[in-house]
A and B are shown apart, each in its own frame.
Chain A
Amino acid sequence: MPTLTVNRQEIEVADGATVLDAAKACGLEIPTLCHHRGVPSAGACRICVVEATSRGRTRLIASCAYPAEEGLVVQTESERIKRSRKMTLELLLARCPESERIQEMARELGVDTPRFKTENRNQKCIMCGLCVRVCNQVIGVGAVCFSGRGQTREVVTPYKELSDVCIGCGACAVVCPTGCIDPAEFRDKLLERIPNEFNCGFDSRRSIYVPFPQAVPNKPVIDRENCIHFRTGGCGACAQICPAGAIDYEAEDEFTEEKVGAIVVTTGYQLYNPAAYEEYGYGRYPDVVTSLEFERMVSASGPTGGNVYRPSTFEYDDDGKIVGGEKPMVCVFVKCVGSREEVKHKPYCSNICCMYTAKHTMLYEHKVHDGQAFVFYMDVRAPGKNYEQFVRRVAKEKTATYIRGRVAKIFPRNGKMVVWGADTLSGNQVEIDADLVVLAAAVVPSSGAVDLAQKLRIGYDEHEFFNEAHPKLRPVETNTAGIFLAGACQAPRDIPETVAQASGAAAKALGLVVRDEYEREPIVACVDENTCNACFNCEPVCAYGAIGEKEIRDRKGNLVKIVAEVNPGLCQGCGACAVTCRSNSIEVEGFTDAELYAEIDALVP
Chain B
Amino acid sequence: MEAIQTTSTADDDEQTTFEPRIVAFLCNWCSYAGADLAGTSRLGYPPNIRIVKLPCTGRVDPLFILKAFERGADMVLVSGCHPGDCHYTSGNYHARRKLPTFRSLLEFMGIDPRRFQMSWVSAAQGGKWSQVVADITALATELGPFEYFERIRDNRN
Interface residue ranges, A against B (CB under 8 Å): 453-454, 457, 459-462, 467, 470-472, 479-480, 523, 541, 543-544, 572-576, 578-580, 588, 591, 593, 596-597, 599-601, 603-605
CA distance A573 to B90 in the complex (A): 13
Residues on B with C-beta less than 8 A from A453 are: 85
Question: For the complex, is B52 an interface residue (Cβ under 8 Å from A)?
Answer: yes
Q: Which of B8-16, B54-62, B107-115 contacts A (4 or more CB under 8 A)?
A: B54-62
Residues on A with C-beta less than 8 A from B36 are: 470
> Would A579 and B98 count as touching, CB distance under 8 A?
yes
| Complex: chain A residue closest to B67, CB-CB | A600
> Would A457 and B55 count as touching, CB distance under 8 A?
no
Interface residue ranges, B against A (CB under 8 Å): 21, 23, 29-30, 33, 36-37, 40, 50, 52, 54-56, 58-61, 63-64, 67-68, 71-73, 81, 84-91, 94, 98, 122-124
> Would A604 and B58 count as touching, CB distance under 8 A?
no
> Would A597 and B55 count as touching, CB distance under 8 A?
no
> Would B122 and A459 count as touching, CB distance under 8 A?
yes
Knowing A461-B122, A479-B123 are in contact, say whether A576-B91 is a contact too (CB < 8 A): yes
Residues on B with C-beta less than 8 A from A580 are: 94
CA distance A162 to B87 in the complex (A): 61
CA distance A279 to B121 in the complex (A): 37
CA distance A479 to B123 in the complex (A): 10
> Would A543 and B89 count as touching, CB distance under 8 A?
yes
> Would A457 and B87 count as touching, CB distance under 8 A?
yes
Residues on B with C-beta less than 8 A from A470 are: 33, 36
Residues on B with C-beta less than 8 A from A572 are: 55, 87-88
> Would A467 and B60 count as touching, CB distance under 8 A?
no
Knowing A543-B89, A600-B64 are in contact, say whether A579-B58 is a contact too (CB < 8 A): yes
19 A-B contacts, Cβ less than 8 Å apart? Answer: A457-B85, A459-B29, A459-B123, A459-B124, A470-B36, A479-B123, A480-B87, A523-B55, A543-B90, A574-B55, A576-B94, A579-B59, A580-B94, A591-B55, A591-B59, A596-B52, A603-B23, A603-B71, A604-B72
Residues on B with C-beta less than 8 A from A596 are: 52, 54, 61, 64
CA distance A584 to B85 in the complex (A): 28
Contact of A604 among B23, B37, B86 (CB under 8 A): B23
Q: State how many angstroms separate the Cβ of B47 from the closest Cβ of chain A.
A: 13
Knowing A461-B124, A467-B122, A574-B56 are in contact, say whether A603-B50 is a contact too (CB < 8 A): yes
Q: State how many angstroms separate the Cβ of A250 from the closest Cβ of chain B.
A: 37
Residues on B with C-beta less than 8 A from A467 are: 122-124
Contact of A575 among B37, B58, B84 (CB under 8 A): B58
Given contacts A576-B56, A599-B52, A604-B21, 8 further A-B contacts (CB under 8 A): A459-B81, A467-B124, A541-B94, A543-B90, A574-B88, A575-B58, A578-B59, A603-B52
Knowing A459-B85, A467-B122, A543-B89 are in contact, say whether A575-B55 is a contact too (CB < 8 A): yes
Residues on A with C-beta less than 8 A from B73 are: 603-604
| Complex: chain B residue closest to A579, CB-CB | B61
Summed over the interface, the residue pairs from A and B with CB atoms below 8 Å come to a total of 112
CA distance A575 to B88 in the complex (A): 10
Contact of A600 among B68, B88, B98 (CB under 8 A): B68
> Would A604 and B68 count as touching, CB distance under 8 A?
yes
With a 10 A CB-CB cut-off, give which of A461, A574, A576 has the most chain B CB atoms: A574
Knowing A579-B59, A600-B68 are in contact, say whether A457-B40 is a contact too (CB < 8 A): no
Give 9 nearest A-B pairs by CB, closest first. A575-B59, A574-B88, A543-B89, A604-B71, A461-B124, A603-B50, A576-B58, A574-B56, A574-B91
Q: State how many angstroms separate the Cβ of A59 from the closest Cβ of chain B.
A: 77
CA distance A544 to B88 in the complex (A): 8
CA distance A480 to B28 in the complex (A): 12
Q: State how many angstroms separate the Cβ of B32 from the closest Cβ of chain A.
A: 10
Residues on A with C-beta less than 8 A from B72 are: 604
Residues on A with C-beta less than 8 A from B33 are: 470, 479
Q: State how many angstroms separate the Cβ of A538 from the closest Cβ of chain B.
A: 12
CA distance A600 to B21 in the complex (A): 12
Knowing A459-B30, A574-B91 are in contact, say whether A601-B71 is a contact too (CB < 8 A): yes
CA distance A605 to B36 in the complex (A): 24
Q: State how many angstroms separate the Cβ of B120 from the closest Cβ of chain A.
A: 12
> Would A593 and B88 count as touching, CB distance under 8 A?
no
> Would B68 and A588 count as touching, CB distance under 8 A?
no
| Complex: chain B residue closest to A597, CB-CB | B67
| Complex: chain A residue closest to B58, CB-CB | A576
Residues on A with C-beta less than 8 A from B63 are: 593
Residues on B with C-beta less than 8 A from A599 are: 52
Residues on A with C-beta less than 8 A from B23 are: 600, 603-604
> Would A593 and B55 count as touching, CB distance under 8 A?
no
| Complex: chain A residue closest to B52, CB-CB | A599
Residues on A with C-beta less than 8 A from B86 are: 457
CA distance A605 to B89 in the complex (A): 35
Q: State how many angstroms separate the Cβ of A570 from the closest Cβ of chain B.
A: 12
| Complex: chain B residue closest to A574, CB-CB | B88
With a 10 A CB-CB cut-off, give which of B50, B56, B86 has the most chain A CB atoms: B56
CA distance A404 to B106 in the complex (A): 60
| Complex: chain A residue closest to B24, CB-CB | A603
Residues on A with C-beta less than 8 A from B67 are: 597, 600-601
Contact of B40 among A472, A578, A579 (CB under 8 A): A472
